[in-house]
Amino acid sequence: MKALILAGGFATRLRPLSCSRPKTLFPLVNRPLLQWIFERLADGGVDEVILAVNALTQFYIRQQKPCKCGLKVRFSLDPPKNPLGTAGPIKKAEKLLGHDEPFIVLNGDIFADIDYKALIEAHKKANALATMALCSVEDPSCFGVVELCKDNYITRFIEKPPKGQVPSNFINAGAYVLDPGVFDFIPEGRAVSIEREIFPRLVVAKQLVGHCIDGLWMDIGKPAEYLEANRLLLSSFAHKIVNPKNVLAEIKSPVALEQGVVVGEKSILGPYAIIGKNVKIGCNVTISNSIVFSDAEIGDDVKLNGAVVGEGAYIGRHADIGDGCIIADQAKVKENVHMRDGATVCPAKEISENVL
């Protein structure tokens, strides 16, 4: 079984963290999102994955080398300067995906605990070209929303409907099983939106069915959602997390520490502290509700609460950073700086004054 992962978007709402890494490589409890996705696909019986990306995302993935979980991984690149949208890359990968059997397509920017075997079974049972995983959310207006009839056929699909005009709370979870017959619906050589151009046509042809999923599903589109997704995953997988034993800090669970973390005396980590590989933390530091990417350095007496600190960033002594603030990769916050209210520092920039 093959799967195509759409991962060529620009994650603009996650800037400045996404200035230096694609969303699919954002760490979720210290593992890149892509690795969580690979793991679930491998469990679902997939053996080959095609990553539909742009050249920059390909570069970052090759550099970071996330664990492939036994999958054969290939790239299919959008043409430079002309991203192909969410259906164009499927058409472009037609030869790689082949015409022999159905394949999976999924958005590479969501965490979804999908049982792919069950999704494939549902597709085999239904008499349609496409089966869409659905989940139920409180506010569906920023997603693709469906109207379902009793036999699970989707009778309407509206991408991001205006508030008050949503047909149901069931949204497109961003994972599909498609028959090769869907290739005939996608025009070649241009950007095509699967949500705005292809699904509505499949609905008219009575070729789109829905399959409700009930596992954890999270969109990490905005910084607050990214923090929340980490928090939820940390709670859900707390029993599986083994923290290194030689860390002397006081630990308030749940906490996830990667290998090589060094912590000075009297520091308190947690609750909800996620610390990446080789992070150096000084003395008397408190870190709660925060994510620190690998190789960052945190000086003595620093307080982090509700912050994200990027890879290789440096936080000077006595700094106090809270409330959704983001320090991007390789950035530097000087001593005594206080930051609040979602303030951000761009990659490799330096800040020496308070941002309140």
Distance CA(98)–CA(47), nearest Å, equals: 14
DSSP characters for 217-243? EEE--SHHHHHHHHHHHHHHHGGG---
Q: Residue 316's binding partner, choosing from ligand GDD, Mg ion, none, with beta-carbon cut-off 5 to 8 A by kind?
A: none
Considering beta carbons, is residue 107 or 286 the nearer one to ligand GDD? 107
DSSP characters for 47-99? -EEEEEE-HHHHHHHHHH----TT-EEEEEEPPTT---TTTHHHHHTHHHH-S
Draw the binding track, 31-60, toward ligand GDD (x: CB under 6 A; -: no contact): ---------------------xx-------
Q: Does 89 bind ligand GDD (CB under 6 A)?
A: yes
Structure tokens at 168: 């149901």
Considering beta carbons, is residue 86 or 344 the nearer one to ligand GDD? 86
Among 160, 280, 303, 334, which one carries the catalytic annotation? 160
Q: How far is the CB of 8 from Mg ion (least distance, A)?
A: 12
Q: Does 93 bind ligand GDD (CB under 6 A)?
A: no
Stretch that binds ligand GDD, among 5-13, 62-70, 94-102, 265-273 (CB under 6 A): 5-13
Give residues 220-249 in contact with ligand GDD (rule: CB under 6 A).
221
Please say if 160 is a catalytic residue.
Answer: yes
Q: How far is the CB of 235 from ligand GDD (least distance, A)?
A: 21
Q: Which residues of 109-124 are buried (b: 16+ CB within 10 A; e: fewer)?
A: bbbbebbbeebbebbe
By CB under 6 A, name the one of 35, 58, 172, 294 that touches ligand GDD.
Answer: 172
Residues 6+ apart with CB under 8 A from 1: 44, 45, 46, 47, 48, 101, 103, 104, 120
Q: Tell me the three state secondary structure of residue 335.
A: coil
Q: Does 109 bind Mg ion (CB under 5 A)?
A: yes
Q: Could you tell me the CA-to-CA distances from 49 to 79, 104, 106, 153, 172 in Å, in that order?
A: 19, 9, 11, 28, 21
Distance CA(106)–CA(3), nearest Å, equals: 8
Residues 6+ apart with CB under 8 A from 228: 218
Considering beta carbons, is residue 109 or 195 the nearer one to Mg ion? 109
By CB under 6 A, name the one of 219, 297, 301, 311 that touches ligand GDD.
Answer: 219
Q: Does 86 bind ligand GDD (CB under 6 A)?
A: yes
Q: Does 144 bind ligand GDD (CB under 6 A)?
A: yes
Q: Does 109 bind ligand GDD (CB under 6 A)?
A: yes
Write out the residues near Mg ion by the rule CB under 5 A.
109
Catalog residues that contact ligand GDD under the rule CB under 6 A.
6-9, 52-53, 78, 83-86, 89, 107-110, 143-144, 159, 171-172, 174, 195, 219, 221
Give the residue numbers annotated as catalytic, written as ranges.
Answer: 160
